[in-house]
Structure formats: C-alpha cells, structure tokens
C-alpha cells in the first residue's frame, strides 16, 4: 500500500514526543481543538494514522494522567476512533485548559498554555496531527488545518504569525474553518518547524525540479521557434 505524502509527514511528526509536561499539555490542546469532537459530554478523536494512534494514549497519559475509555486496535483496518465519556476525566481535561464542565463550552485558545516557544510548536504539531493535511507537491502546493470553531481558527492564526512570521489564509468549508498555505516556501518552513524535515526537503526538491523542467521547456520552445524562423527564411 502506497503511503501518501500527508501520511508520511504526519508519521515523521509523530517521532517527536514532548519531554516536558507543559509541551505534552500544549500538544494535546492542539489535538483537542482540531479533533472531531471536544465537548463537555464527550471527546472523540478519529484518525487513519497508525503512528498518531500509537502516541495518542501516551500523550494523554503524560498530560492528564488518564486513559481513553474506548480505543481501537492498531491492527484494525480503516479509521481508528478514540473516545472519552467518563465525566471525571472530561472535567480534569477541561480544567487543565481553564474550561469548566458546568459552563456552556465555548472553545478558544488559552494563550498561557502556548506561551513558550516549545509549547507553541507542540500545539501546532497537535493541531496538524488531528486536523491537518498537506498535498503531495507533485500535484500542487497546499497545506491546511481544519476546525469547527471560528475563534480557534482565528487565534491559531495569531499563533502561526508569532511562530513563523507569515500568516495563513482563512476560509469557510462545510460549516468549519480552514487555515491554509499555498506557497511552497511557507509549507516547507512550517513542516521543518513541526519536525518533518524529510517532508520539507521533499517539497523543496520538487519545487526545484519543476523550475528546472520549466526552464528546459522554455529553452526548447525558444529553440523550436528560432528553427522555424530559419526554415521559413
């Protein structure tokens, strides 16, 4: 089975396990804000990445000292679903981010969680692992994050600006919010920031190859045009 470029980048990012508790907390924060469901009545994270599924329980154990109430076998085909429904576990997770189980939950980025540079990177790794994708550069340049929460998208945009000094574009899709990049340099730099150095290098190599091919094609077209003029003369 051929591994997609996005899956390979995600697997590369999963090699980086945070050593500090604050970074594990920040990475879980990114995962939860960009996952399928993070509400006061339950948490659901769905992924097709076996590498992400492998590290996910370890991250939650390190960040919250708790386990999932339901988790799949990594040998299972298709999508893998992780769930938490026990009220006390959800309360512990909510309070770690400054939320209250009793209040109506309005998700947003709690900036003190991502104040340090290492925590910013961990948060963005989690956001990509749960809600991100990147297109094979052979087909085009596109990287995105998707969340159902407008405030989360807006605040993540600010974090990206602080971390990378460039700003992604924003759009709506099916009731959700999408942050995306279209520039190869920005995508490559961001993948490097997340720790996916091989994927970043793949984008740059593909870009250089495309530029070289374009130069060769332009030269050939120019030579053909000149030859045609000589023949006509």
Instruction: Please give the average pLDDT of every successive group of 10 residues along the chain, which has 233 residues.
Output: 84 93 96 92 93 95 94 85 94 90 76 92 96 92 90 91 86 88 92 93 87 65 56 56
What pLDDT shows up at residue 1?
Answer: 54
What pLDDT shows up at residue 122?
Answer: 95
How distant, in Å, are the alpha carbons of 36, 54, 101, 119, 206 from that of 150?
15, 29, 21, 22, 34
What pLDDT shows up at residue 212?
Answer: 75
- Closest to 134 measured CA to CA, from 166, 179, 79, 173: 179
What pLDDT shows up at residue 196?
Answer: 93
pTM, full prediction: 0.87
On the 0-12 / 13-18 / 19+ scale of CB atoms within 10 A, 168 is: buried
What pLDDT shows up at residue 149?
Answer: 85
Q: What are 33-76's pLDDT values in tens digits?
A: 999 989 888 999 999 999 999 999 999 999 999 999 998 888 88
Compute the distance between CA of residue 159 and CA of residue 124 in angstroms, rounded to an integer: 9
């Amino acid at each position: 089975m051929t591994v997609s470029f996005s899956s390979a980048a995600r697997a590369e990012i999963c090699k980086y396990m945070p050593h500090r508790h604050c970074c594990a907390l920040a990475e879980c924060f990114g995962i939860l804000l960009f996952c399928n469901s993070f509400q006061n009545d339950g948490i659901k994270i769905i992924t097709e990445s076996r590498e992400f599924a492998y590290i996910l329980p370890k991250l939650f154990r390190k960040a919250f000292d708790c386990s999932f109430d339901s988790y799949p076998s990594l040998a299972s085909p298709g999508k893998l679903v992780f769930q938490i429904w026990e009220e006390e576990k959800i309360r512990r997770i909510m309070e770690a981010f400054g939320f209250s189980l009793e209040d109506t939950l309005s998700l947003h980025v709690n900036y003190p969680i991502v104040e340090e540079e290492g925590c910013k990177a961990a948060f963005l790794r989690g956001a990509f692992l749960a809600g991100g994708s990147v297109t094979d550069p052979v087909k085009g340049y596109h990287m995105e994050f998707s969340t159902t929460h407008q405030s989360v998208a807006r605040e993540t945009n600010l974090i990206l600006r602080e971390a990378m000094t460039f700003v992604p574009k924003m759009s709506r899709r099916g009731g959700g919010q999408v942050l995306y990049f279209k520039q190869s340099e920005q995508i490559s730099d961001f993948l490097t920031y997340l720790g996916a150095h091989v994927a970043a290098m793949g984008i740059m190599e593909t870009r250089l190859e495309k530029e070289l091919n374009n130069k060769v094609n332009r030269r050939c077209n120019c030579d053909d045009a000149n030859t045609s003029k000589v023949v006509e003369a």
